[in-house]
Amino acid sequence: MAMYRDEAIKRIRAALKRKTGKTWSVTGGRGTSSGWITVQAPPKRRVRHEPIGDIDDPEWLNAPYRERVREEPLREGDDPRGFYTPWAECDQLARAFKLDAVHGQGILISPDKTESYVMRAETGNATKGTPQPTPRPAPVAVTFAPPPKVPAPDPHAELGKAIRWLERLAAEVGFGALVDTMPDDCQGLNELRAATTKTA
């Protein structure tokens, strides 16, 4: 990782010099942040941010940061590591990397974004070559077949089947035995029993 980081630092620094005509501070982190890269103005070009207005006023806190501070040169004894890249140079970095904006503390590049930022600095794209749009899958035509039409049962036909079945069964076992073997709550058979009794 460290070797690639060092290569990335050289390539970013050279690309920014070519694009802007300026030298830039492009440095790698140390210790647990050794894989990270910071891009900002060199120490001699950094500035202080001094508040403008009343910092206790809620409106001051809600205003855009650039409107809340003014840039001032570093004072004697200031440690440049704690100060900022001028706004004009932040805008240059944003254009060079094709970013919307850059903070006064510069650009902090994580290890997983290193190659992307090298490509941004060198070509203006976040990937090698010209990024191609992801092809969309072809639409799949979906058709729904209507369910088959099932004719409604004919109640007269069903009744006729039931009567013929009862007639066959009665012929085999006798009508009286048929009625006696059916449940008592069968209304139709009870009516048949009553009709049979009257006929008899």
Among 46-50, 71-75, 103-107, 121-125, which stretch is predicted with the lowest mean pLDDT? 121-125
Query: Does the model's pTM come out above 0.75?
Result: no
Mean pLDDT of 61-67: 88
User: Under DSSP, is residue 160 helix (H, G, I), strand (E, B) or coil?
Assistant: helix
- What one-letter code names the amino acid at 46? R
150: confidence class by pLDDT, cuts 50, 70, 90? confident
HEC-encoded secondary structure of 52-96: CCCCCCHHHHHCCHHHHEEEEECCCCCCHHHCECCHHHHHHHHHH
User: Under DSSP, is residue 99 helix (H, G, I), strand (E, B) or coil?
Assistant: coil
Distance separating alpha carbons of residues 105 and 37, to the nearest angstrom: 12
Give me the pLDDT at residue 32, please. Answer: 85
Instruction: Report percent pLDDT > 90 for the chain.
Output: 44
Distance separating alpha carbons of residues 90 and 66, to the nearest angstrom: 12
Give me the pLDDT at residue 129, please. Answer: 45
Tokens of 155: 């109640």
User: Under DSSP, is residue 40 helix (H, G, I), strand (E, B) or coil?
Assistant: strand
User: Under DSSP, is residue 121 helix (H, G, I), strand (E, B) or coil?
Assistant: helix
- Location of structure tokens 């209507």: 146
Residue 147 has pLDDT above 70, yes or no: yes
Give me the pLDDT at residue 167, please. Answer: 66
- Top-confidence residue, 59 or 135: 59
Average pLDDT over the chain, rounded to an integer: 80
Tokens of 67: 């409107």
Mean pLDDT of 26-31: 92
Q: What 8-state DSSP symbol labels residue 100?
A: S
Handedness of CA 62, 65, 69, 70 (dihedral sign): negative
The answer to whether the beta carbons of residues 103 and 91 sit under 8 Å apart is no
Which run of H or of E encompasses 47? strand 47-51
